[in-house]
Copies of this chain bind each other. A is one copy, B any other.
Amino acid sequence: MPKGLIVQKFGGSSVANVERIQNVARRVASYRKKGYDLVVVVSALGDTTDELIELANKINTAPSEREMDMLLSTGEQISVALLAMAIHKLGYEAISFTGAQVGIITDASHTRARIIKINADKIKEELKDGKIVIVAGFQGVTMEQDITTLGRGGSDLTAVALAKELCADECEIYTDVDGIYTTDPRIEPRARKIKKITFDEMLEMASLGAQVMQARSIEVAKKFNVPIHVRSSFSDNPGTMITKEVKRMEDVVVSAVTLNRGEAKITICNVPDEPGVAAKIFGELARAGVNVDMIVQNVSHTRQTDISFTVTKPELSKALKITRKVGRAIKAGEVLRDEDIARVSVVGVGMKSHPGVAAKMFEVLAYNKINIEMISTSDISISCIIQRKFVEKAVKALHDKFGLGK
């Protein structure tokens, strides 16, 4: 009798060369030997995707998104074929499939398609046949048989969606780090690996700059309650479990401190304090596809106010241009930019019932003489924009004061 079904996902760095592909094959085979049914989702080898994008850009700086998907989907197709061969070499039965072949049906939004449904019959059939099923991550197909890709973090999404569709017992995401940490270990060496974390906390961390998994896959995992195990493809140590609820021994208020240095701040000064003004500014930005993150507007005591917001650095110049245009139209004042900022956040489901967290965070920053430029809060996180040069100091101090260290 099979012990259960595991969906395993291996990222590009886990299959970057022949040796690593063989390493993945050995891991998959060892699970098979233990009696598990296995569906393995693989990303493109190492930097293949980036190399293909570069090649495309040499030919056309604005390539058709449909053709881009046609091109990029080859990366995962190469990976699955090679992994199948490596598993065969170890004496186990395996069969590889493209996204199209296993019926991962998406909409037609090329380069960022959304999964509509999965016809998992083929996978079920092959599993029944005793085979390890290897599926190309990151890709799907429209009802019209056009190949699509799912955008950044797409292979994680493939794994989570398959785990849901197949009612898998576990979904393992193998990566080059061995789990989720209380903060970035490159900044704070005393950072601890988190054993268990909730979907909500992970979602906050993903959107606040933790780069292990994309928010989108976690959202889907949360929606369908698919437990995820994030772990390293280079060791056998358990990683971090992401689940719906986490029963913790102690009353942990804050689970992690995150940071993000990838944003810039725009301030539009002396905005007339009239209804509809914010809608005009952010409506224009949205129409141009600019993703605005934090927005702060103070209550105004005069007839004018300042509005500040953050965008990712690659979108800064586009956002500035639009903001200046709208600024002139609504007769606002100067538009300022600041790229030397960083965001530091504390995350934890525990803070819902502990109103003192924000105050404590501000105290820690003040004690360290770090000025807070913007504040934003959610149910389970508090974020502050500070000067970029203070970010390491802030992370270490918060990590220490909230008791996250080893």
Contact = CB atoms under 8 A, between A and B. Distances in A.
Interface of A: 18, 21-22, 52, 55-56, 58-60, 63-64, 66-68, 70-71, 73-74, 77-78, 80-82, 84-86, 88-89, 95-96, 98, 100-101, 145-147
A67 B25 CA distance: 15
B70 A86 contact: no
Q: What's the dominant secondary structure at chain A's contact region?
A: helix
B60 A70 contact: no
A217 B95 CA distance: 31
Which 8 pairs between the two chains have the least Cβ-Cβ distance? A71-B81, A74-B74, A70-B81, A60-B85, A60-B89, A63-B85, A67-B84, A67-B81
A56 B85 contact: yes
Nearest to A72: B81
Given A64-B85, A88-B64, A70 B59 contact: no
Q: Which of A21, A52, A59, A84 has the most CB of B within 10 A?
A: A59
A55 B84 CA distance: 13
Contacts of A88: 60, 63-64, 67
B89 A55 contact: no
Contacts of A98: 70, 147
Contact of A59 (B22, B52, B77, B101): B22
Contacts of A18: 55, 58-59
B21 A59 contact: yes
Contact of A52 (B60, B68, B78, B145): B78
A115 B179 CA distance: 49
Contacts of A96: 67, 70
A89 B145 contact: no
A82 B77 CA distance: 17
B70 A55 contact: no
Contacts of A147: 98, 101
Contacts of A56: 81-82, 85
A18 B58 CA distance: 7
A56 B21 CA distance: 11
Contacts of A68: 81
A89 B52 contact: no
Contact of A60 (B55, B58, B86, B101): B86
A95 B95 CA distance: 30
Given A66-B95, A101-B145, A59 B82 contact: yes
A174 to B, nearest CB: 19
Contacts of A66: 95
A85 B101 contact: no
A78 B59 CA distance: 13
B74 A77 contact: yes
B101 A84 contact: no
A95 B69 CA distance: 12
A70 B134 CA distance: 12
A396 to B, nearest CB: 44
Q: Which of A18, A70, A84 has the most CB of B within 10 A?
A: A70
A131 to B, nearest CB: 12
13 contacts: A21-B59, A52-B78, A56-B81, A56-B85, A60-B88, A63-B85, A67-B96, A70-B80, A71-B78, A71-B82, A73-B77, A74-B78, A98-B147
